[in-house]
Each structure stands twice: as structure tokens, then as C-alpha cells.
Structure 1
Amino acid sequence: MTSFPSLPLPSGCPADLSLWRIDIALDAPFDDSTFPSLSDSERSRARSFHRREDALRFATVRAALREILADVTGLSAADVAIVEGRNRRPALGQASPSAHEPAVDFNVSHSGAHGLIALASGRRVGVDIEQCAIHFDWRTVADIALSPSERAHIEQLERAAQNAAFYEMWVTKEAVLKAHGVGLTEGMQHVSTLGAPREGIAIGDASLQTATLAAPPGYAAALAWSA
């Protein structure tokens, strides 16, 4: 079985959380013999991507996820059952879509040449990594991505620091919403990463804590988990 060393987590993270970074070879071949642990439906999904890089990102991270879950379950990577729960969120085995605190929860994210896989026991977890576009204008998505206070906070920063602040907020929000199990279009602007303390973002009756993750140069990443 391929080994994926667990990454160190920021201080304050629960002991039951684990995190892996998957480095993606975007020039690797992709054919029917590649990634042997993938299911037929996963191969079909990979082939449905228009861009080869997107297919490799999905297939590489999903194959790594299968290896990690195989170590948890004692099954072979190919025999691990990955199902869709609420809002098509992947889950292990026959987990109930309405389960608030699954026995084993996981979440994945990939962007550019890197992916992250987060695993938790007895709590929900969400993770996000984004490649930061140097010339991206954060104002083009501010209305759907930022709360009014977040927008005001970024506008007070020096121009050179604005994009970095935006991406940190973006990945934190994505991680929070993914941990909660709702779609990213269902309220990103209603979740604020500001406040004291930042940890303890509430969505409905759920309280989630967050941490900024060390990421490769040119990337931003964050982790969220249910308290």
C-alpha cells in the first residue's frame, strides 16, 4: 500500500484529526490501467472531465483517499465503500446522510498540483486548498463570497495584501461549509471569519472551529471541524 505521511496540525486541533497532503503529477498518464483501486463509477467520473489535469486531480486524490480509508477499515483500497451523503458529500460505507457526528468522517480538496485529505473520528471535518491567482480581482466575487464586514476589512488593507486576505477567508469559509455539509452557494456571504475569537463559527445550531494550514507557496489552505 502506498504510504501518505500525515501532516502536522496547528496547535489546538483535536487529537482525532489527521491530515495528508497529496502531490499531484499533472503530467502522469491516465488510462484504464492507472489507479487500480478506483471503482468503475470513479473512472467514469474521471473520464468525464474535459481537461486531463482535472481528471488527474480527481483520480489521484480519490486513489489516495482509498488507501487511507483502507488503513482505517482493514479492507483493501478497492473494497472501501465510498457513498454519497447529504448534498452529495462523500462518506464512508453506509453512513446515514443525516448523521450529525459520524464515527469516521473525511473531506478532500484539490487545486493546482496539490490535494488535501482530512480525517476525523466522532466529529465532522472540512478542508480546502486553493491555488492563488496572482492577478485575481477579489471584488468580482465579493458579493457572493464575503460578508459586509469582511469586505470592509479587506478594503482597509494595503493593495498588495488584499488578495492573500481574501484567499484566507475563502478557504476558511469553504472548509466550514464542507464540514457542515452544505453547498458553497448556500450562504458563503452569510458566514463571517471575523470576530473574537475567530474559532467557533456557527451555522445554524452547529459550532465549527477553524485553523489556517501551512500550504505550498502560492496556495492557501484551511481546516474546519465540529466542536
Structure 2
Amino acid sequence: MTMYTDHHFETLPAARPQSALRPNDLVPGAWAQPAPPRPGAPRLWLARVEDLRDVVAPLAASVLDGGERAREAALRRAVDRDGYRVTHVCLRLLLGAYLGIDPPDVRLARAQCPRCGGPHGRPLVREAAPHFSVSRTPGYCLLAFAVTEVGADVEKVPSSALVEEMSAALHPRETAELAACPPADRPAAFARAWTRKEAYLKALGTGLGRDLRSDHLGTSPHPARITGWSVIDVSVPAGYEAAVVVRRG
């Protein structure tokens, strides 16, 4: 989920360590026989919305269920509707291929929230495997599949003004790290911390119901370590940041 879509963005280059995980390009037909995830190795797909918009449009009516079509129609901006449609049609096409069933027959549900027990936790497939997570931001969507619980997030690098406005919402150590960054480096550092944090909260199943200040994921090019989880930056085009978090074992 992109949390700052109502703001204007600066497109800024962002350096990434060589350890960043490179996703597969989600191009037309890639969902026919996708390689499945392996233990400890999530399978990532990055889709450029513009490249797939016209491909998935004729499929949406037959692939998406009524709830998905209603959520798509409720989005006011065409760019958001396009992104939602590409994300969710591709999710069903890939899950159908992994499960060996028709995409419309994939039964999506929600796990119990680990905080309150309500039916709004991590999204899941009733057939039990694989675990998955999706994220979209203007221009791109990221889909992650794994053997264990997984969360993924992709975001545009925000403006310096937005970083100034939102940095206090992060863990105190992350806020201090940002303050110590050269001003030109802060937007990318903020986006690194934000995508890691949101991916982690998705993997936990709490989403943004958990305080963003609770967990230190770090703003540097090297993610902080979290017991029981692997936090991995994802290689995406300049001007964007992405991360995936997967449960170990």
C-alpha cells in the first residue's frame, strides 16, 4: 500500500547495495509457467503498469471477483484503477498457475488479525499455499510469493518536504539516522526505511495497525536484522525503493 500518494514526488536516483534482490519482470505471458518460490527464497515479480494495462483490461471482468471489481470501480483516479487492475489480475493469474487452477477459482481470504482477532489480517489463499503479498505505487506493482509468511512494499521516493513532515512517524533511531543524513540523501533513506517497515508489518499481518515507531528497520543501504525474519531490499528503477520481508524457516 502506498501511504503518500496524495503528495507530489521528486524522482531521485537511489544507490543500492549489490545484495538487493532483483525481481522478475512481469511481462505478458510470464504467468503461464512461473517458477515457484523456494524455502528462504521468495519469488518476486515487478510489473510496469503501462506495459500491462491494455493486456489485462479484457481479462478483468472474468478473472476478478465481485468484491475486487467493486474496489477497482471505487477508485477515483484512472491511474489508481489501472494499477489496481494490473496488480490483482496478475495476482490471480500467477496464483492460478502455482495452484494449477483457473484464476477465477482462486479463493482469496484474510487471516485473523494477530492484534485483535478480526478478519482483516494477512491476505491468503484458502488452498493454503503459497503465501503472497502485493504492493502498488504509481507506475509499478510488486508481487511476492513465498513458502512462509511474506510482505512486500514498493514506493516512489518522496519529496524532501514530505520526508520532513513524516520522519517523526518512524522509529526514534530511524528519525535520528535521517537527521544525520545529508539533506540530498534523506528522501531515499526515508523510502528505504518506509518500504522495509511496511513490508514487515504486512508479513506480520498487522498492517499499519501496529505503531510505525515500534520497530527499527534502518535507513542505511543495509537493513537492520529482525529475529526470525529476513529483511531484503529489492532492486527497482531509480526514483523508487522496495523491500520484501519473509519469515525464516
TM-score class normalised by the smaller sequence: 0.7 to 0.9
5 Å-filtered alignment, 1:94-113, equals 95=128, 103-113=129-139
1:70 alignment counterpart: 96
RCO higher in structure (CA 8 A, sep ≥6): 2
Cα distance in 1 for partners of 2:55, 2:30 equals 21
Deviation at 1:133, TM superposition (A): 2.7
Question: Structure 1 residues 43 and 159 mapped into 2: Cα distance closer, same or farther (>3 Å)?
Answer: same
- Is 1:132–2:194 an aligned residue pair? no
- Is 1:177–2:201 an aligned residue pair? yes
Aligned CA RMSD, in angstroms, stands at 2.9
The percent of aligned pairs where both chains have the same amino acid is 25
Cα distance in 1 for partners of 2:56, 2:233 equals 36
Cα distance in 2 for partners of 1:72, 1:199 equals 32
SS in 2 for 1:106: strand
Deviation at 1:199, TM superposition (A): 4.9
Question: Structure 1 residues 2 and 29 mapped into 2: Cα distance closer, same or farther (>3 Å)?
Answer: closer
- TM-score, normalised relative to structure 2: 0.74
Of residues 145, 164, 177 in structure 2, which corresponds to 1:153? 177
Aligned structure 1 segments of 4 or more residues deviating by more than 6 angstroms: 29-32
Cα distance in 2 for partners of 1:142, 1:61 equals 29
- Please say if residues 106 and 126 of structure 1, whose CA atoms lie closer than 8 Å, have aligned partners that are also in contact: yes
- Please say if residues 53 and 86 of structure 2, whose CA atoms lie closer than 8 Å, have aligned partners that are also in contact: no
- Please say if residues 136 and 163 of structure 1, whose CA atoms lie closer than 8 Å, have aligned partners that are also in contact: no
- TM-score, normalised relative to structure 1: 0.81
- Is 1:162–2:183 an aligned residue pair? no
Deviation at 1:84, TM superposition (A): 2.1
- Is 1:2–2:29 an aligned residue pair? yes
- Please say if residues 199 and 209 of structure 1, whose CA atoms lie closer than 8 Å, have aligned partners that are also in contact: no
2:123 alignment counterpart: 90
Q: Which has the higher strand share?
A: 1
Cα distance in 1 for partners of 2:130, 2:229 equals 17
5 Å-filtered alignment, 1:9-20, equals 14-20=39-45
- Please say if residues 96 and 106 of structure 2, whose CA atoms lie closer than 8 Å, have aligned partners that are also in contact: yes
- Please say if residues 46 and 58 of structure 1, whose CA atoms lie closer than 8 Å, have aligned partners that are also in contact: yes
Deviations 1:20-66 (CA, angstroms, capped at 9, x unpaired): 01111299579995523111221111001111211111111000000
The aligned amino acid for 2:99 is T
Deviation at 1:200, TM superposition (A): 3.4
Question: Structure 1 residues 198 and 21 mapped into 2: Cα distance closer, same or farther (>3 Å)?
Answer: closer
